[in-house]
Amino acid sequence: MNFLDIFLFILKYTPFWAVPMVIISLHFAYLYWLKDYKEMAYAWGSITLFCLTSVIIYFAIGGPDQIVQTFTHVFK
């Protein structure tokens, strides 16, 4: 299994890793924000935004099969 296969697997199953990461990172961002650790809150917030963007792009492109086809078509 090479790196491309692993990356395509990650792309295909984006909601299964991104949605839990949104919940976890949003929780940590809120906790650090309440404790006045703004830098850590911003770091966790940026992870949240990355995961949300990944899910939005995933569904905008068309789901698991279409995102893999689009990626392979663009980069090959």
Residue 4 banded pLDDT, cuts 50, 70, 90: confident
Residue 69, domain member (yes or no): yes
- pLDDT tens-digit readout, 25-51: 999 999 999 999 999 999 999 999 999
Residue 68, domain member (yes or no): yes
pLDDT of residue 44: 98
Among the listed residues 62, 70, 68, 56, the one whose alpha carbon sits nearest the alpha carbon of residue 4: 68
Q: Which structural domain range is residue 29 located in?
A: 16-75
- pLDDT tens-digit readout, 5-28: 899 999 999 999 999 999 999 999
Residue 41, domain member (yes or no): yes
pTM of the predicted model as reported, rounded to 2 decimal places:
0.86
Residue 2, domain member (yes or no): no
Q: What is the tally of structural domains in the chain?
A: 1
Residue 48, domain member (yes or no): yes
